[in-house]
C-alpha cells in the first residue's frame, strides 16, 4: 500500500503536492486557534437574541407614541445611582430599555437599564474593574483568545489569514482528477452508512466544499478589522484605486473660553439635531464627553435599521460650540450617497455576522462557523489515521513474549564476525550397554522357495551345516 500511495502521490502535479503540504501543516499550526475563534463566533452571532429572550427579558419595553427621555436626564439618573462616577454613553433601541454605562467599559462602575418613557430603573448592575459580562467575555476570546491584546490579536488575525489559505488549498485537494458518477458522489455527498473513517473524511471534504465561500467571506471580513495592509488593499481594490483615509480622532476646540452651552444643554442639542435629521431611525448611540478632558467630543451614531449596521451614520460635535467635526470618513455620509467601495466597507460587520441577510443570514453564519470549527478537528483525525502503523502480527508476537517474561529493554548479546563464539555445551555421554557374544545358537532350517534365475538360495547353508 505504501508503494502504491507513493506512486499515486508522485503522479500528481507539483502545484497539487505543494497545496497538500500547505493544507496539512498550516492547518495543524492554526487548528486550535480557529476552533476557538469559530466557536466563539457562533455564540456571538445570536448575542442580542439570547440576551433579550433568556438573560434580560425584562429589558423589553413596548414602543409608545410619546417623547423619550433626553440624554441629559438619563445621565443625571445614572450619576445619581453611582455617586462620583461619570456616565460614558447611552444606547437607545426601539422596543428596549435604554442602556446607560457608568465609568466606561472595563472600568469600575456599572450598567443601568432605564425605561425611556418613565425613567424607571429596570435593572442595575455593579461592575468591578476589568469585569465583563458573558458576551463581552466571548467577544474577547473571539478577538484575542483572552490573552493580552497585543499578543492575542495578531495571533487571531494571522491565523485567520492562514485559515483562508487552507480553504483555497482545500479546494485544490477536493477537485477530482476526473469527473464521473463515482467522483461526483464522493465530492458532493456524505456516505453516512460508511465506516467511521469514511464519514469523518466526508465531513471534512464535503462540508468544507459547501461552506468554503461563506467561510472565506467571514474570514476576510474579520481580517479587515485586524490586518491594516489587508484592509487598505481590499478598499483600494473595491473602490477603484481610492486610498482608505486613516482614522484621525476628532478633538474639540480647547481655546474656547466662553462656553455658550452647559454640558447638559450641549448633549441634548446635539441629540435633537441628529434625531431631527433621522426621524425614522430605530436607535441612537450617544457618547458623553469626559468632563475632565477638554479635547473630548460629543459622538452620536444613528441606526436607521433594526439589527443592521451598514446604513449607520455617525456625527461628531465640538462639546463647546456644537460645530460638526469630520470624524469617520466612510460613515459620515448617508449610505445611499456612498460609492461601491464605501458601501462594501460599511457592510463589513453585517457580512461578518450574517445580519446582512437578516435572521436567515445569522442562522447561516452560525452553521458555517460551526463547520469552520469542525474542519481542523476532522482534518486532524484524517492525518492521525494516515500515520504508518506496525503490523498486527508483530504486536501480537511481542505481547506474547512480554507475557512470557521476555525483557525488550535488556541489552542483547552482540556477535562480531570472526570473533570467538562460545563452545557448545557437550552432551552427557549415554551409558554403554556391554555386548555379549551369542553361543549355542541353532539356525533353523528355513525353506526358501527357489525362483528361476535366482541363485541366492543356493548359497544358503542347509541343515545347520557350515563350511
302 or 434, greater pLDDT: 302
User: Per-residue pLDDT for 381 more than 50?
Assistant: yes
In the sheet where 283-287 sits, what is the strand order?
Answer: 121-127, 109-114, 98-102, 87-93, 283-287, 297-303, 313-318
Q: How confident is the model at residue 259 (pLDDT cuts 50, 70, 90)?
A: confident
Residues 50 and 174 in one domain: yes
Say if 418 falls within a structural domain.
Answer: no
User: Per-residue pLDDT for 146 more than 50?
Assistant: yes
User: Per-residue pLDDT for 240 more than 90?
Assistant: yes
Region 359-372: what's the mean pLDDT?
97
pLDDT tens-digit series, residues 6-47: 555 557 899 999 999 999 999 999 999 999 999 999 999 999
- CA-based torsion, 446, 447, 451, 455: positive or negative: positive
Residues 216 and 168 in one domain: yes
The pLDDT of residue 461: 44
From CA 364, how far away is CA 369, in angstroms rounded? 8
From CA 74, how far away is CA 70, in angstroms rounded? 7
The pLDDT of residue 413: 59
Say if 12 falls within a structural domain.
Answer: no
Region 364-386: what's the mean pLDDT?
96
Residues 217 and 290 in one domain: no
291 or 92, greater pLDDT: 92
Residues 213 and 88 in one domain: no
Q: How confident is the model at residue 459 (pLDDT cuts 50, 70, 90)?
A: very low
Residues 233 and 161 in one domain: yes
Residue 96 is classified by DSSP as B
Residues 165 and 103 in one domain: no
Q: How confident is the model at residue 151 (pLDDT cuts 50, 70, 90)?
A: very high
How large a percentage of the chain has pLDDT more than 70? 81
Say if 446 falls within a structural domain.
Answer: no
Question: CA separation (Å) from 319 to 142, 237, 298?
Answer: 35, 37, 6
Residues 197 and 93 in one domain: no
Region 307-335: what's the mean pLDDT?
89
234 within 8 A of 220, measured Cβ to Cβ: yes
Long-range contacts of 104-110 (CB under 8 A, 24+ apart): 105/136, 106/130, 106/132, 109/82, 109/85, 110/81, 110/82, 110/85
End-to-end CA distance of the chain: 81
Report pTM: 0.80
From CA 169, how far away is CA 20, in angstroms rounded? 7
Length of the chain counted residue by residue: 467
Region 239-249: what's the mean pLDDT?
88
**Residue whose grid cell is 505481547:** 399
User: Per-residue pLDDT for 293 more than 60?
Assistant: yes
Residues 72 and 213 in one domain: no
Residues 49 and 88 in one domain: no
The pLDDT of residue 428: 57
Say if 265 falls within a structural domain.
Answer: yes
| Cβ partners under 8 Å of residue 286, min gap 6 | 71, 89, 90, 91, 92, 267, 270, 271, 298, 299, 300
The pLDDT of residue 420: 56
Residue 457 is classified by DSSP as G
| Cβ partners under 8 Å of residue 381, min gap 6 | 200
The pLDDT of residue 340: 94
Say if 124 falls within a structural domain.
Answer: no
pLDDT tens-digit series, residues 103-133: 887 788 999 999 999 999 999 999 998 888 9
Instruction: Share the mean pLDDT of the chain.
Output: 86
Its domain, for residue 81, covers 62-116+259-338
353 or 307, greater pLDDT: 353
From CA 394, how far away is CA 389, in angstroms rounded? 11
User: Per-residue pLDDT for 159 more than 50?
Assistant: yes
* Cα Dmax for the chain: 165
The pLDDT of residue 404: 63
Residues 162 and 237 in one domain: yes
442 or 207, greater pLDDT: 207
Q: Which of 276, 308, 338 is the last residue of a domain?
A: 338
Say if 170 falls within a structural domain.
Answer: yes
Domain count, the chain: 2
Rg (CA), the chain: 43
Question: CA separation (Å) from 391 to 15, 388, 401, 403?
Answer: 34, 10, 16, 19
The pLDDT of residue 463: 44
Residues 218 and 198 in one domain: yes
Say if 107 falls within a structural domain.
Answer: yes
Say if 223 falls within a structural domain.
Answer: yes
110 within 8 A of 125, measured Cβ to Cβ: yes
pLDDT tens-digit series, residues 408-457: 555 655 555 555 555 555 555 555 555 555 555 554 444 445 444 444 44
The pLDDT of residue 466: 42
The pLDDT of residue 119: 96
The pLDDT of residue 426: 55
The pLDDT of residue 139: 97
Residues 42 and 171 in one domain: yes
User: Per-residue pLDDT for 165 more than 50?
Assistant: yes
The pLDDT of residue 423: 55
Amino acid at each position: 500500500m505504501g508503494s502504491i500511495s507513493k506512486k499515486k502521490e508522485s503522479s500528481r502535479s507539483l502545484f497539487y503536492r505543494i497545496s497538500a503540504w500547505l493544507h496539512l501543516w498550516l492547518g495543524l499550526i492554526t487548528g486550535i486557534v480557529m476552533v476557538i475563534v469559530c466557536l466563539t463566533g457562533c455564540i456571538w452571532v445570536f448575542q442580542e437574541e439570547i440576551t433579550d429572550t433568556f438573560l434580560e427579558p425584562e429589558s423589553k419595553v413596548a414602543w409608545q407614541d410619546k417623547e423619550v427621555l433626553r440624554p441629559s436626564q438619563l445621565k443625571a439618573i445614572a450619576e445619581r445611582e453611582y455617586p462620583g462616577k461619570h456616565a460614558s454613553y447611552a444606547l437607545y433601541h426601539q422596543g428596549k430599555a435604554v442602556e446607560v454605562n457608568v465609568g466606561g467599559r472595563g472600568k469600575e462602575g456599572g450598567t443601568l437599564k432605564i425605561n425611556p418613557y418613565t425613567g424607571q430603573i429596570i435593572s442595575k448592575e455593579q461592575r468591578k474593574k476589568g469585569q465583563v459580562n458573558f458576551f463581552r467575555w466571548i467577544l474577547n476570546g473571539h478577538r484575542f483568545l483572552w490573552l493580552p491584546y497585543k499578543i492575542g490579536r495578531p495571533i487571531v488575525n494571522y491565523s485567520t489569514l492562514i485559515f483562508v489559505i487552507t480553504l483555497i488549498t482545500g479546494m485544490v485537494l477536493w477537485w477530482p482528477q476526473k469527473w464521473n458518477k463515482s467522483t461526483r458522489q464522493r465530492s458532493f455527498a456524505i456516505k453516512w452508512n460508511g465506516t467511521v473513517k469514511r464519514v469523518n473524511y466526508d465531513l471534512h471534504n464535503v462540508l468544507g466544499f459547501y461552506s468554503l465561500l461563506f467561510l472565506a467571506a467571514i474570514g476576510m471580513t474579520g481580517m479587515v478589522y485586524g490586518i491594516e495592509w489587508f484592509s487598505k488593499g481590499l478598499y483600494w481594490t473595491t473602490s477603484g484605486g481610492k486610498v482608505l483615509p486613516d482614522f484621525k480622532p476628532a478633538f474639540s476646540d480647547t481655546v474656547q473660553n466662553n462656553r455658550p452651552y452647559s454640558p447638559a444643554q450641549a448633549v441634548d442639542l446635539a441629540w435633537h439635531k441628529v434625531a431631527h435629521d433621522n426621524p425614522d431611525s430605530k436607535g441612537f448611540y450617544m457618547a458623553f464627553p469626559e468632563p475632565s478632558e477638554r479635547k473630548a467630543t460629543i459622538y452620536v451614531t444613528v441606526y436607521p435599521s433594526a439589527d443592521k449596521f451598514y446604513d449607520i451614520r455617525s456625527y461628531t460635535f465640538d462639546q463647546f460650540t456644537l460645530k460638526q467635526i469630520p470624524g469617520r470618513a466612510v460613515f459620515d455620509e448617508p449610505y445611499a450617497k456612498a460609492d461601491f467601495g464605501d458601501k462594501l466597507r460599511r457592510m463589513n460587520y453585517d457580512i461578518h455576522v450574517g445580519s446582512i441577510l437578516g435572521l436567515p443570514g445569522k442562522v447561516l453564519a452560525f452553521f458555517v462557523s460551526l463547520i469552520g470549527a469542525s474542519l481542523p478537528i476532522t482534518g486532524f483525525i484524517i492525518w492521525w489515521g494516515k500515520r504508518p502503523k506496525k503490523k498486527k502480527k508483530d504486536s501480537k508476537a511481542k505481547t506474547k513474549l512480554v507475557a512470557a517474561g521476555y525483557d525488550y529493554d535488556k541489552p542483547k548479546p552482540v556477535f562480531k564476525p570472526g570473533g570467538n563464539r562460545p563452545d557448545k555445551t557437550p552432551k552427557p555421554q549415554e551409558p554403554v550397554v556391554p555386548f555379549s557374544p551369542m553361543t549355542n545358537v541353532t539356525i533353523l532350517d528355513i525353506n526358501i522357495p527357489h525362483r528361476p534365475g535366482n541363485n541366492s538360495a543356493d548359497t544358503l547353508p542347509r541343515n545347520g551345516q557350515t563350511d
